Amino acid sequence: MSYPFQITSREAYDEAYKKSVQDPEAYWAEVASSFVWQKKWDKVLDWNFMDPKISWFEGAKLNISENCLDRHLPTHGDKPALIWEPNDPEDHHRILTYRDLHFKVEQFSNVLKNNGVKKGDRVCIYMGMVPELAIAVLACARIGAIHSVVFGGFSAQSIADRLIDAQAEFVISSDGAYRGNKEIPLKSVIDDALVQCRFVKKVIVLTRTRIPVSMIKGRDVWWEDEIKKVETQGNPPCPAEAMDAEDPLFILYTSGSTGKPKGVVHTCAGYMVWTTYTFVNVFQYQPDDIHFCTADIGWITGHSYILYGPLSAGATTLIFEGVPTWPDAGRFWDIVDKYRVNILYTAPTAIRSLMGFGLGPLQGKHLTSLKVLGTVGEPINEEAWHWYYEHVGKKKCPVVDTWWQTETGGVLISNLAGVTPAKPSYATLPLPGIQPLLVDENGKEIEGNNVSGNLCIKFPWPGILRTTYGDHERCRQNYFATYPNLYFTGDGCLRDENGFYRITGRVDDVLNVSGHRIGTAEVENAINMHTGVVESAVVGYTHDVKGQGIYAFVIYSGNHGDENLSRQDITQTVSRIIGPLAKPDKIQFVKGLPKTRSGKIMRRILRKIAEGDFANLGDTSTLLDPNVVEEIKEGKI
Ligand code: PRX
């Protein structure tokens, strides 16, 4: 497969960028022409950021699964589409060619239909990293059902919240999942969630770990039994549903600065074009390359760069079930050598955690197949960047630092591997189609170089979110209302003397813990649910491995005389309400919180205290009771 839109030189990048800004419709029409459309579009772009209303390729009909599967069959049906490395390196790996994957997706699409799933229905997927997860996602896309994948680390309550918000009547899960030396009882978590969700009609359960599960008559069915039914029907084909360009493809929940996670909605055509385009250009994918993205499919990175981008590009994508440190901290390197991986895409937190094991786990590993390294999810510190570049890439693989968000569908700012220059800890330059600008608090553009401000984007790209599920006003408020006519990213950013961008982190109340997005309000709500808690305030602080850790200041009246036990109780509560990923790293009991006279908590002060930066607390005179600050400083942990 060749990619007519692949940019292979700096001059071509400059040219493409210029064209994408001067005549975006012509630029994206040309890119889109290399995809399979059941019907071509009437209009390339229609937009305003006020409503907001964004529509790409309006009038077109297509199916992303046809682009990810069917279109590859005549030319490379026997090429591996998906390589699966199991959690336990002693277990058998699996390789599915494009033909195999197409067959299995059609088969499972028929399972979905047999179970009453129709176009437009919402399907929640809660599974470990097994090939069937990819199959389930693609089967939903094939029949036009809207998938909503929930990461395996979320609690029953979080799943219930998402099921209710999406009004999802169907769930796909498995009995359990393996992750390192842990076995996660997925079905049992689903069962707990469903106590609150009586509207769920069907749960399709894959066998993976063979732990006991309770299968409820009339509601729960086994994946394998349902496949057998399709086999006895003679495995009929399942033609890809004709989807409108702007039909929703999926919902993915993500945290914001307010309490409840939002269901970010991506639509069929624009998302497909954007993920494929960015995959091919950022990583400079070559047709025989093996691409290994270590993210979980439960996050946007997995959606876009394990599944849709690579498969639409006809690439070979690797799915890894386990964790980087099990059975030992050399696991990623073993996988790279075993499959001769060419592109490795991971998170700074994984790099920092592996750095902590020293160079021992790299010894005896060849890593000679590697051509491109990528990072995503959080700012990468220079030390981690250099370690990655020197010890993993052996100074011969470009590192792409890719900045983007759940809402952006794919990468917006990144160097293109080996094509545009890299700079440690800088995402560098915007991709064609992306028009970033920095603004001050009043929304005034900050021009020139060597400046910093809040990062906004002033023109839509094909992969931008269209709405937040069931609440368009929330989408407007969150992303398009802070600065009129701009998409506000929530990130702070600086632009250096060469116009390179460096993302410095969130400027809102969103934390980034090990590359996972968590809202401070969400964690506070969970902590406040504990009976002993009167009030709490949560802030982030610098953490060597996780990037940010969660620091909770808690006013507590539980009083059972054992502070450690109280901390554990609170942690357990957060784990139950949100999931283990949101557990506070530090809990400090306080008598009061620094509040203004109008009752607003001054987080700025708490952030400084959590960092131990007592000298720069700023003006505390406007506080209702300045004395609480002294008390909190003394109790800092
Ligand atoms: O703060 C930015 C940070 O992660 C946020 C988006 O999180 P999420 O929607 O979960 O998506 C993560 C994977 C795309 C951003 O607002 N972020 C992401 N990539 C980078 C980054 N910060 C700095 N550098 C990056 N490369």
DSSP H helical ranges for 233-283: 268-282
Q: Is 208 in the pocket of ligand 1 (CB under 6 A)?
A: no
Query: Is residue 567 scored above 80 in pLDDT?
Result: yes
Residue 101 CB neighbours (<10 A): 23
Q: Is 296 in the pocket of ligand 1 (CB under 6 A)?
A: no
- 1 band by pLDDT with thresholds 50, 70 and 90: confident
User: How much is the pLDDT for 271?
Assistant: 99
**Domains of the chain by start residue, with CATH:** 66-241 (3.40.50.980), 512-634 (3.30.300.30)
- 258 band by pLDDT with thresholds 50, 70 and 90: confident
pLDDT over 70 for what percent of the chain? 100
Q: Is 423 in the pocket of ligand 1 (CB under 6 A)?
A: no
pLDDT digits (tens, 9 = 90+) for 483-495: 999 999 999 999 9
Place of tokens 């999926």: 250
pLDDT digits (tens, 9 = 90+) for 469-516: 999 999 999 999 999 999 999 999 999 999 999 999 999 999 999 999
Across the range 428-432, mean pLDDT stands at 98
Q: Is 254 in the pocket of ligand 1 (CB under 6 A)?
A: yes
User: How much is the pLDDT for 621?
Assistant: 83
Smallest CA separation from ligand 1 atom 18, residue: 377
User: How much is the pLDDT for 32?
Assistant: 98
Q: Is 282 in the pocket of ligand 1 (CB under 6 A)?
A: no
Instruction: For residue 138, report the distance from its CA to the centre of ligand 1, in Å.
Output: 25
Place of tokens 């700079």: 423
Q: Is 517 in the pocket of ligand 1 (CB under 6 A)?
A: yes
Instruction: For residue 586, report the distance from its CA to the centre of ligand 1, in Å.
Output: 23
Q: Give SS3 for 165.
A: helix
Smallest CA separation from ligand 1 atom 6, residue: 405
Atom number in ligand 1 closest to CA 375:
26
Lowest-confidence pick of 25-34, 60-69, 568-577, 596-605? 596-605
Atom number in ligand 1 closest to CA 506:
1
pTM score, two decimals? 0.97
Q: Is 159 in the pocket of ligand 1 (CB under 6 A)?
A: no
Single out the residue of 584, 558, 581, 560 nearest to residue 637, CA to CA.
584
Q: Which phi and psi (to 5°) does residue 295 adopt?
A: -70, 170
Q: Is 301 in the pocket of ligand 1 (CB under 6 A)?
A: yes
Place of tokens 């770990």: 209
- 558 band by pLDDT with thresholds 50, 70 and 90: confident
Rounded Cα gap, residues 166 and 53, in angstroms: 21
Across the range 46-52, mean pLDDT stands at 98
User: How much is the pLDDT for 35?
Assistant: 98
Query: Is residue 360 scored above 80 in pLDDT?
Result: yes
pLDDT digits (tens, 9 = 90+) for 212-230: 999 999 999 999 999 999 9
Start-to-end Cα distance in the chain? 56
- Average pLDDT of the residues of the chain: 97
